[in-house]
Structure 1
Amino acid sequence: DSLRLMVPKESPHKLLSLSYDLLQAVRLRTTKTEYISCPSCGRTLFDLQNTTARIKAKTSHLKGVKIAVMGCIVNGPGEMADADFGYVGAGPGKVHLYRNKTIVKKSIPSEIADDELIKLIQSEGMWIDL
C-alpha cells in the first residue's frame, strides 16, 4: 500500500503541511492543534464560524491540544467528549468552558470567553507562549 501526494513545484511547503495533516488525521503523528466543531443548527447560540476562526487564530500553536467549539449544550458536551478543552454556547451571550468532560466555568460572557479559555489552558500547563 502507498499514498502519493503531489503539489505544484512552486509550493513544496504545502506538501509537508498536507503530509502532516494526513498523519494526524489517522492518528500516526500529532504536529498541530486539533479542533472539533459542530456543524451548527438552530440551537447554535453564537456565530460558530467566526468564533472557531478566532479561537484557532489564538491557539493554533498548541501542538497536540484538542479544542472543541460547540454551538449549544444539547449535543455539544457529548460531541466534544475526547477534547482537552471545550467552548460551548450556554445561552444568548453566554459560554460554558470544559476541561475534558467536566464543566469548569459556567455562563461566561461571550465577550471574555476567548480570554477565559486561554487562562484555562494556561492553568492546566498546556499553553506555550510564542
Structure 2
Amino acid sequence: MWKKFFSSIGIGSVKVDTILHDKKVALGETIQGDVVIYGGQTDEPIQKIHLLLYLQYEEVRKDSDFSWHDKHIDELTIVVNRHIKAGENERIPFTIKIPDEGPRTGEKHKWFLKTTVLINQSVDPTDEDELMIV
C-alpha cells in the first residue's frame, strides 16, 4: 500500500531517459532515438509518451520580465496504454524531424527535446535533452 502511495507522488516511481542517437543534427534532418522507461517499485499504467521539440531564444521584450522565451516547434505522441511492471525496462524508438528552416544553435538560440511519460493519477516523469542544430 505504501509503495503505491509513494509511487503516485513520484517516490520510487517510473523514471524516463531519452537517448538520442546523435545530439548534433542539421536543419531538415531527422532525430532518432529511444525513450527508455525504467519501472519503479510498483506496476504503473503508462498511457502515452509525449515528445516536445522546442526552441529557446533570447529576446528582450517590454511585456516580459524574462529575456529567454520558449517556442513550440513540433511534438510527437506515442500511445503506449499498458502497465510497466516493477523493475521492468522498456525501450521505445522514435523519430522526429527538425524543420527545414530556422535558427541554428548559438548564443541566442538553444534547441531542446522534452520527454514526458503520462501516468494516470501520478507524477509524470520527464527528461530533457539539449540538441545542437548546425
Q: Give the TM-score normalised by structure 1.
A: 0.24
Structure number with the bigger relative contact order (C-alpha 8 A, sep ≥ 6) is: 2
Kindly indicate which of the two structures has a greater share of residues assigned to strand. Answer: 2
Q: Give the TM-score normalised by structure 2.
A: 0.24
Kindly indicate which of the two structures has a greater share of residues assigned to helix. Answer: 1
